Amino acid sequence: MSVEQAQRTVNQLHKDIADLEKKMAGLVKKEADKTKRIGVVQKSITKNTSVSMLKNKDRQIQGYQRDLARLISDKASINNKMAEKRAKLAQTTVKLQKEESSRAKNIERQQNSIYETYEKQIAELSEQVKLQEKFAISDKNVFDSSTEEEYDVFVSHATEDKDSFCDEFVNILKNEHHLNVWYDSLNLKWGDNIRTEIDKRLIKSKFGVVILSKSYIKKYWTNYELEGLFQRETNIGKLILPIWHDITKQEIQNFSPSLAGKMSMNTAIMTPSEIAEKLNELYSSSKERPETER
């Protein structure tokens, strides 16, 4: 039984018990009325009451007593029903508490897993930087890409989202807006070291477009790219441009509150062409500002 089903059952049992209590109150009122009537008839009998009148009053009393017997039987039946409902309510409440506790533990495990992934990625990035500093040759290492091509946009995405959005979006950026885009399908070559290539291209890109989806938040490489972008943004300012793709705000909030707080584009309400146009406008305005203002 799910939390929702258990909650619905608990709500219905509370309603059923309330209805039975209302019926019980009505029966108690009727019982008091019948008892009062019997008392009134009994008091009306005196030594002067005729035999025929006495018989009539005795019939009245017997009728009220039969009514009382039915009322007492109905009360007993309702009491039994209420006892059954209350027992079932107690059992269902225990189940509901267990289901809520289980759900809370699952959410806690998921959050802990996300935090552990973050910590692992940060540790890996730190270790990577240490290794590159340790094995630097003269004044150049894999991060020293002064001779490498610079890119306007680095597109961080999950492979599962290529067909539904990424390929079309990148094609519009390159062919319609003539932006220099780093996109793994276009730039990674057979035999390239993926980690090294990502590190170099992140440093040489003006903006990092992050296409957030259900697949994106689960993958190692996308999280690796995101950590790199966050580190660069800490040093140089605005860099990360989020796009929500088939994902809810709550899912992003659970994954990264800092990303959830950023102004984002959303494929649910905008076409690839419209989002590409917004990016081109942002890129054009950034070129007009002096370097020191960025």
Q: Which residues are catalytic?
A: 225
Specify the pLDDT at position 201: 80
Specify the pLDDT at position 104: 82
Name the domain boundary from 115, 135, 165: 115
Residue 134 forms part of a structural domain = no
Select the more confidently predicted residue: 94 or 145: 94
Residue 120 forms part of a structural domain = no
Name the domain boundary from 99, 115, 131: 115
User: Residues 133-142: what's their mean pLDDT?
Assistant: 43
C-alpha–C-alpha distance, residues 128 and 122, integer Å:
10
C-alpha–C-alpha distance, residues 145 and 127, integer Å:
20
Instruction: For 18-31, write each residue's pLDDT tens digit.
Output: 999 999 999 999 98
Instruction: For 216-274, write each residue's pLDDT tens digit.
Output: 988 888 888 888 888 888 877 778 999 999 999 999 899 888 888 889 999 999 999 99
Q: Which residue has the tokens 């009062």?
A: 36
Within this chain, do residues 33 and 94 fall inside the same structural domain, yes or no?
yes
Identify whether the C-beta of residue 125 lies closer than 8 Å to the C-beta of residue 228: yes
Give the list of residues 6+ apart from residue 179 with CB closer than 8 angstroms, or none.
152, 153, 173, 279, 280, 283
Domain residue limits at 251? 151-293
Q: Give me the number of domains the chain comprises.
A: 2
Residue 266 forms part of a structural domain = yes
Name the domain boundary from 115, 132, 161: 115
Within this chain, do residues 91 and 174 fall inside the same structural domain, yes or no?
no
Q: What is the DSSP letter of 68?
A: H
Residue 33 forms part of a structural domain = yes
Select the more confidently predicted residue: 130 or 286: 286
Within this chain, do residues 266 and 155 fall inside the same structural domain, yes or no?
yes
User: Residues 167-177: what's their mean pLDDT?
Assistant: 93
